[in-house]
Chains A and B, each alone.
Chain A
């Protein structure tokens, strides 16, 4: 971040707008400028993305080669986290068996991989980083509505990240009950430690939720209040609409999880029984020493009331980014802008009443199952409308195949696969078979990994020139793209097969013990072919990690050595974020902004240029 902002200020020709030069702390740590905060979010979130990926890479080792010593990192982890064999004497160390991963550590990594990827990497990157940097620019505002709240939001996020990260090193290790933290497991899993990983998880989550709430309030207020004159609702770029709906989802779906977190904290620390039923027994015949009377289902309800809208928090910003890039690189307006807007609003609305399709197997009645099944099918309609509009936007365009466009184009079929494979999971009868298998993993990773993350990569490549004044290398970008595309599919396609064959998720040995325990002739045992897929999937996962090297190198190298932009608007875009100096100074615009037309005025018939910026009247009538 430091280097990025350094380069940024090197180009800052508008420093005279500062009354006095702010110090380092004010400029980089306690900055209230939406662009700096966006970059802070972006860099922190990218680090967490990398960290979350590393956890997964180690888990894949345990799946492919259960019980074998982890290469390279095994000894480091052993030194950091302790040995499980000595755990007999000292239950505080619970982590590695020799240099191999213990089941407990696998559980910790699994839970934290999910938590970190969702709450610390993708949401901050998609919503907070891009939203902070781009939204005020795109609506022609000089900053967010509440700059200090914005700063507080980042600080809460950062603290939450620190708490989550610290939980790996406390006695008992990090939370190990899945990213969903289902009670009663989450409460009883680590009962020997009063302040255990789960407690840290909840405290971290409360901080992250607070951060998201502050961010959401800020975004909505900014979009409603600070639009430039002439920027009517139907002239907003689609990305802004996507962020607007995302902010509403965060605002209204997160508090129930906060409530649930508080209740689980009470269960863990004060011995209440919000989520513990009467007569709960644990590894014995005497019931747990609690009052009982709670409801495990309550946790699931509250969790998924956030959890499902959260999926749309992950995907909508990426859709917005992709829409921007497609419009820009096809040099024609988005097809069906209004349908896109109404669809995204419909998604936001319906996403609140589909949550229990994660809970078909909890013994819900048929009426309520049918209700959630129906709403789940309904919500696929606006998603498909968005995807279709984006596909049709390509029709007849003279497409520029630069790196951001490649990622944006790959997003479409990848998200398509993710979405379509979700339909069987939305039907309660098909879900009986597929629930909690690798099929589910493949499905939602198709949505968020080659889906959202490709959208985010596209956004990084696309807005990088605005932030730094230099392009990222196209050649490295294309290497990064093709390798990522190939390995993403190599990882997740076989998982569909494994899942449909009945391989359950969350098995630290990738199902080896499960297969041994079953009679190989019975239908539920995993065949050797299915088990054998574990190894190539793991290899593809590590290869995917290696294919990010060109990106990481490109990202840092281009700050100083990338090709310089020729103008403030290198992509010849018509939206407002490109009508500012590069990089935008404090206060963003060097002239008052007034908006005259649609965000995507490309190839307007009769116009003298290929595109007409939103803030120019133009010489030809536009919509």
Chain B
């Protein structure tokens, strides 16, 4: 397969790789910068951080791992994996949130340490 690629095409790819590299650095800077901004809600930080991380990961997968032009067998395998991973994460979290008697989880409320003696 590598033989079928012309030198020109490979050179073009190398430019793509460098662009992706820059994007990744920018993404990293963005995530770290966001940390110092301190949004009102933790959820904003989490969402932004995860979106940036997902974009970065997709870039690595699509270009460095050349998933942007791969074969069907690999796509199907990864699709199945993604389904199971999503099922695992979603159901784990769902069992955590779906508990009888409307139990409230302590971590949803923020309590400074001074007012709560730390639990053993």
Contact = CB atoms under 8 A, between A and B. Distances in A.
Q: Do A and B bind each other?
A: yes
A605 interface: no
Nearest to A290: B120
A252 B98 contact: no
A252 B95 contact: no
Contacts of A606: none
Interface in A270-311: 278-279, 287, 292, 297-298, 301, 305
B117 interface: no
Contacts of A371: 91
A353 B100 contact: no
Interface stretch (B32-40, B49-57, B81-89): B81-89
Contacts of A364: 95, 98-99
Interface in B61-120: 73, 77, 80-81, 83-84, 87-88, 91-92, 94-95, 98-100, 119-120
Contacts of B77: 220
Given A363-B99, A365-B99, A287 B120 contact: yes
Main secondary structure, interface of B, reads helix
A179 interface: no
Contact of A252 (B81, B119, B120): B81
Contacts, number: 48
A364 B87 CA distance: 17
A356 interface: yes
B91 A353 contact: yes
Interface residues of A, number: 25
A7 to B, nearest CB: 39
A292 B120 contact: yes
Given A365-B98, A367-B98, A356 B91 contact: yes
B100 A279 contact: no
A305 B84 CA distance: 10
Nearest to B87: A353
A291 to B, nearest CB: 9
Contacts of B91: 353, 356, 368, 371
A353 B95 CA distance: 13
Q: Which 10 A-B pairs have the closest CB atoms?
A: A365-B98, A368-B98, A287-B120, A367-B98, A352-B84, A278-B119, A368-B95, A353-B87, A365-B99, A252-B84
Interface of A: 220, 224, 248, 252-253, 256, 278-279, 287, 292, 297-298, 301, 305, 349, 352-353, 356, 363-368, 371
12 contacts: A224-B73, A279-B119, A279-B120, A287-B120, A297-B95, A298-B92, A305-B88, A352-B88, A363-B100, A364-B98, A364-B99, A371-B91
